[in-house]
Amino acid sequence: MKKILIVTNWKLNGTKKTIKKLIKKYKKIINKTKNIKIIIAPPLIYLDYTKKKIKKINIELAAQNIDLHLSGAYTGETSIKMLKDIGIKYVIIGHSERKIYHNENNNIIEKKFNLVNDNRLIPILCIGENYTEYKNNQTKKICIQQIKSILKNTKKKLIKKLIIAYEPIWSIGTNKYPKPKEIQKINKYIKSYIYKKYKELHNKTIIQYGGSVNINNFYEIIKQPNVDGTLIGNASLNGKNFVSMIKQIL
């Protein structure tokens, strides 16, 4: 059985009360998941709280974002050093919601990616096309362009793991998604590109899929040979459904 990496991106959702309840639900499947690893990305303000709640449970944490700076007069920001300080290992980088609502471009994403990598944390890099690009059969080209531009100056030797989430922009929160076979093709293409271009990343590369993953499509998607995991938003906020979803692959 292949190894599967599930990342749950809670985005701007939750309170201490709902997080406590959700973790209780997650706990039900956690020890049954030998080949499944779960990483939660709660809102930054709840990282520490969530960390306390998952003590002794086999779950790890990711931040949803970091600032470009390490310290200084940058009101409202959180640095990679602060995340390291509280024991966080992963950071989501390049999410399309940050591109859309916070004007993050490839230049900023590249800097953030390298900042995470240089500090020996693990970036979870989101890439993907918009609907017009999808319709025009440009998905492969767009994904590779994004990878090339973001990894061009990365110190490859420092990469502990390369986690890439193929997340078509048009499928995020829309209940629309590519057919599982299409996802398989894209993930396979991305993986072969990375293997060809960066030999040192063999065995270190994980290609996930994200975008409207739900209880009905999860199994079909995850069973594709080149889908190494999923990045789940909305469907990870309902504990009962999330547990039923993961049970499909136990």
Report d(CA 82, CA 92) in Å as an integer: 15
Does 173 interact with ligand 13P (rule: CB under 6 A)? Answer: yes
Report d(CA 224, CA 228) in Å as an integer: 8
Residue 182 among the catalytic residues:
no
User: Which residue stretch of 53-61, 144-152, 165-173, 186-194 sits at the interface with ligand 13P (rule: CB under 6 A)?
Assistant: 165-173
Question: Pick from 14, 123, 210, 229: which binds ligand 13P (CB under 6 A)?
Answer: 210
Does 212 interact with ligand 13P (rule: CB under 6 A)? Answer: yes
Does 211 interact with ligand 13P (rule: CB under 6 A)? Answer: yes
CA-to-CA dists, residue 69 to 12, 79, 86, angstroms:
22, 6, 17
Q: Residues 239, 27: contact at Cβ < 8 Å?
A: no
| CA of residue 35 relative to chain centroid, distance | 18
Question: Pick from 231, 242, 245, 246: which binds ligand 13P (CB under 6 A)?
Answer: 231
Provide the token pair at 29: 């499947």
User: Which residue stretch of 18-26, 65-73, 98-106, 208-216 sits at the interface with ligand 13P (rule: CB under 6 A)?
Assistant: 208-216
Does 9 interact with ligand 13P (rule: CB under 6 A)? Answer: yes
Residues sharing a CB contact under 8 Å with residue 33, sequence separation 6 or more, in sequence order: 58, 246, 250
Which is the catalytic residue, given 60, 95, 104, 110?
95
Does 102 interact with ligand 13P (rule: CB under 6 A)? Answer: no
Which is the catalytic residue, given 97, 110, 129, 167?
167
User: Which residue stretch of 134-142, 192-200, 215-223, 226-234 sits at the interface with ligand 13P (rule: CB under 6 A)?
Assistant: 226-234
Residue that the structure tokens 């700076």 belong to: 69
Say how many residues touch ligand 13P, by CB under 6 A.
14
Least spacing, CB of residue 223 vs ligand 13P, in Å: 18
Pick the closest to residue 12 from 102, 75, 110 (CA basis).
102
Q: Residues 249, 221: contact at Cβ < 8 Å?
A: no
Residue 167 among the catalytic residues:
yes
Measured between its terminal Cα atoms, the distance across the chain in Å is: 10
Which residue numbers are catalytic? 95, 167
**Binding stretches for ligand 13P (CB under 6 A):** 9, 95, 167, 172-173, 210-213, 231-235
